[in-house]
């Protein structure tokens, strides 16, 4: 499954509800995300964007519904999925260098106990080079700038050589050089037929960087090609306040 057809579905989110402390943060999201596209997930703070990524990755329990990746349950599709978490989710004082982080992308294919070898090291170095970080391979990660840290995370995902990439705000708080580097990598991934689903905050750059968009605010507002879906009306629906009914319903569930 290296080259995806235009009609193929990368991720099927089937009627998924996710709740924290019984309070739903995503309501019955039902969407097909096509393979071979750069897909932005857009929505206001607290809309459940990161939660949706985590639900696809199996990192949060689903209150209902199911997720399939290329028609398979996650359990059988792990090797196809690469993940770039939010930069703040890890401790950057951890005693490891940039190459060590990139090398983690190879762990999945190594399985338990087996150590990364020379080929893995080279793959990790190549990935670092792709994001312009080859010169920083042996730099302790706390001594990298925020943008450089983000690029190391991206290199780690590239080292996974996945078919589907899930990225949580890859552009958050990065410098201009990093933003360009990430855009280049995204386009290269698309040319290789890979799928990228990224939580994105900057509405202005959505049409420039992505070709498919999913508008989310606790529920799915719209999903489709950018030129069809990324309209003033849909954005208004997404950002024009939450549905008070949903909020009250969530409160009602929490109170029980």
**Structural tokens at position 156:** 């780690």
Check: CB of residue 192 under 8 Å from CB of residue 219: no
Sign of CA dihedral 222, 223, 229, 230: positive
112 scored as a contact of other proteins (CB under 8 A): yes
Binding other proteins by CB under 8 A: which of 5, 6, 7, 115?
115
The minimum distance between CB 85 and other proteins, in angstroms, equals: 5
The minimum distance between CB 240 and other proteins, in angstroms, equals: 32
Binding other proteins by CB under 8 A: which of 62, 63, 104, 129?
104
The minimum distance between CB 229 and other proteins, in angstroms, equals: 28
196 scored as a contact of other proteins (CB under 8 A): no
Number of residues that bind other proteins (CB under 8 A): 31
Site for other proteins in 39-58 (CB under 8 A): 54, 57-58
119 scored as a contact of other proteins (CB under 8 A): no
34 scored as a contact of other proteins (CB under 8 A): no
Helix/strand/coil for 111: coil
95 scored as a contact of other proteins (CB under 8 A): yes
Sign of CA dihedral 137, 155, 169, 63: negative
- Site of tokens 């309070």: 23
Q: Which residue, 48 or 85, has its beta carbon nearer to other proteins?
A: 85
The minimum distance between CB 196 and other proteins, in angstroms, equals: 15
CA-CA distance, 58 to 74, in Å (whole number)? 7
Contact flags string 59-78 toward other proteins, x per CB under 8 A: x------------------x
Helices and strands in the chain: count of H runs, count of E runs? 10, 10
Q: Report CA dihedral (100, 183, 217, 19) to the nearest 10 degrees.
A: -20
Helix/strand/coil for 194: coil
Q: Which residue, 66 or 114, has its beta carbon nearer to other proteins?
A: 114
**Structural tokens at position 232:** 């003033």
107 scored as a contact of other proteins (CB under 8 A): yes
Binding other proteins by CB under 8 A: which of 2, 5, 45, 89?
89
The minimum distance between CB 121 and other proteins, in angstroms, equals: 13
CA dist 18 to 15, 57, 60, Å?
10, 13, 8
CA-CA distance, 165 to 160, in Å (whole number)? 10
145 scored as a contact of other proteins (CB under 8 A): no
Containing H/E element for 214?
strand 212-216
Residue 156: φ, ψ to 5°: -60, -40
243 scored as a contact of other proteins (CB under 8 A): no
Interface residues with other proteins (CB under 8 A) are 21, 54, 57-59, 78, 81, 83, 85, 89-91, 94-97, 100-101, 104, 107-108, 110-116, 140, 142, 156
């Amino acid at each position: 499954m290296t080259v995806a057809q235009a009609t193929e579905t990368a991720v099927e989110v089937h009627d998924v509800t996710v709740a924290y402390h019984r309070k739903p943060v995503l309501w019955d999201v039902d969407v097909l995300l096509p393979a071979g596209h750069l897909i932005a997930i857009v929505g206001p703070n607290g809309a459940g964007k990161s939660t949706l990524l985590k639900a696809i990755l199996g990192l949060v329990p689903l209150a209902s519904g199911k997720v399939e990746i290329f028609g398979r349950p996650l359990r059988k599709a792990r090797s196809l999925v690469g993940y770039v978490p939010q930069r703040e989710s890890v401790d950057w004082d951890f005693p490891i260098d940039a190459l060590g982080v990139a090398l983690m992308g190879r762990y999945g294919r190594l399985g338990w106990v087996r150590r990364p070898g020379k080929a893995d090291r080279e793959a990790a170095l190549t990935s670092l080079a792709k994001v312009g970080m080859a010169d920083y391979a042996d730099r302790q990660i706390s001594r990298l700038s925020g943008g450089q840290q983000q690029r190391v995370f991206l290199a780690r995902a590239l080292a996974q050589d996945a078919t589907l990439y899930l990225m949580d705000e890859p552009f958050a708080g990065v410098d201009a050089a990093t933003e360009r580097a990430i855009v280049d990598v995204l386009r290269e991934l698309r040319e290789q037929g890979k799928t990228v689903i990224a939580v994105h905050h900057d509405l202005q750059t959505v049409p420039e960087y992505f070709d498919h968009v999913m508008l989310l605010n606790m529920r799915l507002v719209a999903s489709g090609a950018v030129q069809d879906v990324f309209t003033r009306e849909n954005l208004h629906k997404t950002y024009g306040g939450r549905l008070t009914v949903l909020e009250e319903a969530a409160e009602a569930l929490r109170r029980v």
